[in-house]
Structure 1
């Protein structure tokens, strides 16, 4: 359905929908410590896709009400386009990851790509809801529904952080000859005396203590561990260069308790900042496991 075929009331509703859809995309788009999306070209790409998604969501309402179901087929084309966006983000980040001193890892990259696809659907939701209320009722109801949809989009924008599911605290770095420990957790063997001197001077240890059985399995995921190391190294810096495996940050499990020990060589050796950064590491959707729910279902069946 073309814009010039709409009545004045329908046009106002579509404009409100597009405005709130674009506002939702702007609200959810930011370049943070990960420096992604890049500025300005990465942002331009995502804002342009946000405008397209907002237009589709806003125009879908009068199309449905006028029984012009052919126009709705464009939504399926949009879904394919947004899946292509996900593939584009995955490929770009995979290539960039090869140049990182501490890479993100495939699980983190897939999570970022999934987020960028999902946010376009939230844009369609905001545009659709505000356009629907603006068309069925007065224009100011469309604005009210649009404002509410922005709160919903903001709530779905991000998931849990590590600090919400685990206790974070610093730990002592211990060197017993060539053996490196964080608290009581064995990390690795350091063969060179020069590397041991660097570690004794610059190293920092952290412990991630799970709050329940589900968290134990989640933080054991290798992708989640790599995300922790990447975020910490991105914000605090990393005291190493390429070709120095002994100085690579690592995260190892205490198999008896499920506690995750994190070994870092930060440029900024600030324990309070490190605790804050580690607490805000996102919990990756692909790393979440819920074994307790399976156990609960089995107990009900019994």
Structure 2
């Protein structure tokens, strides 16, 4: 017959692992990969759930070595973050349109943070199950699943800026999106291909914070990478004239995005930009400064 502590540990492990399973999502970015990448992250999630669940009965028995194990787990998860960063940085060099350092750091941070959410979930469920009853533990687990779901998703570009179509203009050797200068295109062949396949998008920031955030080079690169991943890209290596670019208007902070998709669909491109996540490391809040207040 299982005692109360064992029931609490099992319940904590199950709900903690279920939490990691719900947070594991392979989407258009294909990371983690469908099979081996998922196995790695689910295994780490199971270990995290076990550590969080076992820590409660250990602490209640005044066995404080459990804190040491949690500290070691934190170190291991930091190593996981470093591993993800190194792997993605290596893969990024082979992309036609790279993610960029800021995007990679954000992905690595997310994978580390989700393991901590699993530890918190299993710890909380195990604690409630021991102090009250296993039924209350299940209720606590359901609540933590909703909390984790909330922290799983962040804000997107549509919350920071109005995204509209921009006209691609070739004036002599100069390329513009509306009135925002993009780059110099010398060859007539490249100019013709740009006019045929090019798409222009304008991001109009909604406030002072948005102006600084979308100006971040890492955030701009994330927008370009998402466009290339979802819509394809009309270019190959060694063709600098066809590289997608995002340049800003220095006067009002608008961002002009020039891109050559494999399939030219401006409405889909606008929607992709709107859904691009706002990178945590790109966010700036100058309005919170005492000087601006």
Question: In 1, Cα distance between the equivalents of 2:97 and 2:214?
Answer: 18
Equivalent pair of 2:286/2:292 in contact (CA under 8 Å): no
Residue 298 of structure 1: SS of its match in structure 2?
coil
Question: In 2, Cα distance between the equivalents of 1:71 and 1:58?
Answer: 11
Aligned mate of 1:196, from 191, 196, 204: 191
Aligned mate of 2:205, from 205, 210, 215: 210
Query: Match of 1:298?
Result: 291
For residue 39 of structure 1, report the CA deviation from its aligned partner. 1.9
Question: In 2, Cα distance between the equivalents of 1:163 and 1:20?
Answer: 34
Query: Match of 1:136?
Result: 131
Query: Match of 1:3?
Result: none
Task: Answer yes or no: is 1:39 the counterpart of 2:39.
Answer: no
Task: Answer yes or no: is 1:158 the counterpart of 2:164.
Answer: no
Task: Answer yes or no: is 1:106 the counterpart of 2:98.
Answer: no
Residue 291 of structure 2: SS of its match in structure 1?
helix
Query: Match of 2:25?
Result: 30
- 209 and 299 in structure 1: CA distance in 2 versus 1, 3 angstrom threshold: closer
Alignment map for 1:14-93 (pairs within 5 Å): 14-93=9-88
For residue 299 of structure 1, report the CA deviation from its aligned partner. 6.1
For residue 298 of structure 1, report the CA deviation from its aligned partner. 3.2
Which runs of 5 or more residues in structure 2 are unaligned?
none
Q: How many residues align?
A: 293
Aligned mate of 1:176, from 171, 175, 196: 171
Task: Answer yes or no: is 1:284 the counterpart of 2:279.
Answer: yes
Question: In 1, Cα distance between the equivalents of 2:115 and 2:66?
Answer: 19
Residue 99 of structure 1: SS of its match in structure 2?
coil
For residue 104 of structure 1, report the CA deviation from its aligned partner. 0.5
Cα RMSD of the aligned pairs, angstroms, is 1.2
For residue 268 of structure 1, report the CA deviation from its aligned partner. 1.8
For residue 179 of structure 1, report the CA deviation from its aligned partner. 0.6
Task: Answer yes or no: is 1:271 the counterpart of 2:281.
Answer: no
For residue 177 of structure 1, report the CA deviation from its aligned partner. 1.1
Question: In 1, Cα distance between the equivalents of 2:292 and 2:109?
Answer: 34
Equivalent pair of 1:63/1:72 in contact (CA under 8 Å): no
TM-score, normalised by the number of residues in structure 2: 0.98
Query: Match of 2:229?
Result: 234
Residue 262 of structure 1: SS of its match in structure 2?
strand
TM-score, normalised by the number of residues in structure 1: 0.95
Superposed CA deviations along residues 6-64 of structure 1, whole A, max 9, x for unmatched, are: 96111111111101110111111111111101121111110000000000011111111
Structure 1, 128-137 or 198-207: larger mean CA deviation: 128-137
Which runs of 5 or more residues in structure 1 are unaligned?
1-5
Residue 33 of structure 1: SS of its match in structure 2?
coil
